[in-house]
């Protein structure tokens, strides 16, 4: 069984949902033409990752751009998914009590919403302090014409915490899809590879192309480099193999990665990472909430809500 994921590395259009809807629809049609099973948008595509201004009135206006899952914006992509027979991961600012959430919604090939994930690791050190963090990680089953695959979602900063991908792996995720909006130097790309290695999960991340203006008054240095990693690091004989399926440059484009799920499942059955030899009894410190002094931050929200 194969899974073809289209990384929609597009330029930010700023806070223009109508333009995002039109450009996003065209990109999805092209992804379907290229044979994709899933189209993956960058983070907060609805508003192009436009930043929340610091002033109170402007902050309220930014938060008022939030939409419901049943909005026209989401409905357009649900209808498109059904028409194209292609799953879509669409990202947007979701209306939520106490402040909007940064979310990604997975729509299946019938146009049905099967999951909406809210970013857990919000960037509380920047404008994302005006959003509400999500409350956890879960995997869901995505039905394709050729079978089912268990999918996990996380968003941008989530991938910098090993617990995010680990929680998804423990819930059975085989492929993790990641909308993104930030520079991706080699350190972070290597970090992403490690998430695939340690969890034996396929990983796909879509970033904005460069250059892009996210409404901060000067261009945010999005730099492309969307990437997909197979999750398979060794062949059956134990020889290392190249796990890179796709690694884009900086320019806008649609990049399709093909995951071989049969090979990935066989690899997970025979290799030693993931949940095969963990020692959960020794990991109590992972859920204690008592950071050492140098990691204490007054703006860090360590609980949802």
Q: Give pLDDT tens digits along the chain (305 positions).
A: 999 999 999 999 999 999 999 999 999 999 999 999 999 999 999 999 999 998 889 899 999 999 999 999 999 999 999 999 999 999 999 999 989 999 999 999 999 999 999 999 999 999 999 999 999 999 999 999 889 999 999 999 999 999 999 999 999 999 999 999 999 999 999 999 999 999 999 999 999 999 755 554 555 679 999 999 999 999 999 999 999 999 999 999 999 999 999 999 999 999 999 999 999 999 999 999 889 999 999 889 887 76
> Which residue stretches of the chain are H helix?
17-33, 56-63, 72-84, 162-170, 186-199, 261-270
Is the distance from CB of 159 to CB of 169 less than 8 angstroms? Answer: no
Condensed to tens digits (0 to 9), the pLDDT of residues 79-95 reads 999 999 999 999 999 99
Q: How far apart are CA 87 and CA 145, in angstroms?
A: 11
How many domains, in total, are found in the chain? 1
Q: How far apart are CA 27 and CA 253, in angstroms?
A: 9
Q: How far apart are CA 96 and CA 210, in angstroms?
A: 31
Residue 94 lies in a domain: yes
Residues 6+ apart with CB under 8 A from 232: 200, 241, 243, 260, 263, 264, 267
Residues 6+ apart with CB under 8 A from 216: 51
Residue 217 lies in a domain: yes
- State which residues form the domain around 14: 2-295
Residue 301 lies in a domain: no
Residue 300 lies in a domain: no
Residue 194 lies in a domain: yes
Residue 302 lies in a domain: no
Residue 61 lies in a domain: yes
Q: How far apart are CA 11 and CA 25, in angstroms?
A: 14
Q: How far apart are CA 118 and CA 135, in angstroms?
A: 8
Condensed to tens digits (0 to 9), the pLDDT of residues 223-273 reads 999 999 999 999 999 999 999 999 999 999 999 999 999 999 999 999 999
Residue 239 lies in a domain: yes
Q: How far apart are CA 46 and CA 48, in angstroms?
A: 6
Which CATH number belongs to the domain containing residue 55 in this structure?
3.60.110.10
Q: How far apart are CA 113 and CA 87, in angstroms?
A: 10
């Amino acid at each position: 069984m194969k899974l073809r994921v289209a990384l929609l590395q597009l330029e930010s259009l700023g806070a223009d949902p109508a333009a995002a809807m039109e450009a996003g629809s065209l990109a999805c049609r092209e992804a379907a033409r290229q044979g994709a099973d899933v189209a993956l948008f960058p983070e907060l595509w609805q508003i192009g990752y436009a930043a929340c201004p610091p002033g109170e009135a402007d902050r309220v206006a930014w938060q008022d751009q939030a939409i419901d899952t049943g909005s026209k914006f989401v409905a357009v992509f649900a209808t498109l998914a059904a028409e194209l027979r292609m799953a879509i991961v669409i990202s947007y600012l979701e209306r939520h009590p106490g402040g909007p959430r940064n979310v990604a919604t997975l729509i299946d090939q019938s146009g049905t919403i099967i999951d909406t994930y809210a970013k857990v690791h919000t960037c509380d050190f920047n404008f994302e302090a005006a959003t509400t963090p999500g409350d956890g990680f879960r995997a869901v089953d995505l039905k394709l014409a050729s079978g089912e695959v268990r999918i996990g979602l996380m968003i941008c900063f989530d991938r910098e915490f090993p617990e995010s991908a680990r929680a998804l792996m423990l819930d059975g995720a085989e492929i993790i899809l990641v909308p993104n909006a930030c520079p991706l130097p080699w350190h972070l790309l290597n970090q992403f590879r490690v998430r695939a290695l340690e969890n034996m999960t396929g990983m796909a991340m879509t970033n904005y192309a460069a250059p892009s203006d996210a409404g901060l008054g000067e261009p945010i240095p999005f730099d492309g480099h969307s990437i997909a990693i197979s999750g398979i690091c060794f062949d059956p004989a134990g020889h290392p193999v190249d796990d890179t399926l796709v690694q884009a440059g900086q320019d806008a484009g649609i990049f399709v990665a093909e995951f071989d799920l049969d090979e990935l499942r066989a690899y997970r059955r025979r290799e030693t990472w993931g949940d095969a030899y963990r020692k959960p009894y020794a990991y109590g410190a992972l859920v204690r909430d008592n950071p050492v002094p140098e990691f204490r931050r007054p703006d860090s929200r360590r609980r949802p809500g």
